[in-house]
Every structure is written in C-alpha cells, then in structure tokens.
Amino acid sequence: MADLFRNLIKNAIKAYGESKGYVIDDFVYEALAWGGLTEKGDGLVHPKFIEYVPNAKTRSQILNILNAERYNQLGFGNAVPKGQQACN
C-alpha cells in the first residue's frame, strides 16, 4: 500500500516538474515522494522509513535531497536544490 501511494506521489510530482520544464533524475522524484513520511513527528526517523529503505546510504541521500529542497540551499551531503523556492 505504501509503495502504491509513494509511486502515485512520485508520478504526480514528476508530471508537474516536467510540465515546468525540469529534467530531473527519477531518484530525486522518489526522494521528494518521501516528504513528510520520514519522521515520527518528534524529529526521529520513522521506523517504517527504515523498514522500506533499509540501506543507510540511500536513506541519507533521500533525507539530504528533502532538506536541500526544503531549505533551498546546499550543505546537505551532495544534494543540490533542483527548483526555485516558492516562498520564504
């Protein structure tokens, strides 16, 4: 079920990005689909995120992409924001 929803979210984000002219690697869209699903609300990583993404390096890449996009800045691993910040 979670895979289905993440794929729907990823495809919607990708369709929107492509409609705006972005050419971005699918992994970035996959990472963006995890937005809001990686923490329990107390700042700790959600156990289901660890279960669905067991590789620590991949989890780190996803979190770095999410933070780079959220804050529209470098400094989160090698992640580079792909879009323009919508608002301050």
The pLDDT tens digits for 49-65 are: 999 999 999 999 999 99
24: pLDDT strictly greater than 60: yes
Confidence of residue 27 (pLDDT cuts 50, 70, 90): very high
Q: In the numeric block, which tokens belong to residue 11?
A: 């495809």
Find, among 67, 37, 68, the residue nearest to 52 by Cα. 37
Q: What angle do CA 6, 9, 15 make, to 5 degrees?
A: 140
Find, among 71, 74, 64, the residue nearest to 85 by Cα. 71
Sorted by sequence, the CB contacts under 8 Å of residue 38 that are 6+ apart come out as 45, 46, 49, 62, 63, 66
Find, among 26, 24, 30, the residue nearest to 2 by Cα. 30
13: pLDDT strictly greater than 70: yes
Poorest-pLDDT segment among 7-11, 16-20, 65-69: 65-69
More reliable by pLDDT, 12 or 36: 12
Find, among 3, 48, 70, 56, the residue nearest to 30 by Cα. 3
Confidence of residue 84 (pLDDT cuts 50, 70, 90): low
User: Residue 9's pLDDT is what?
Assistant: 94
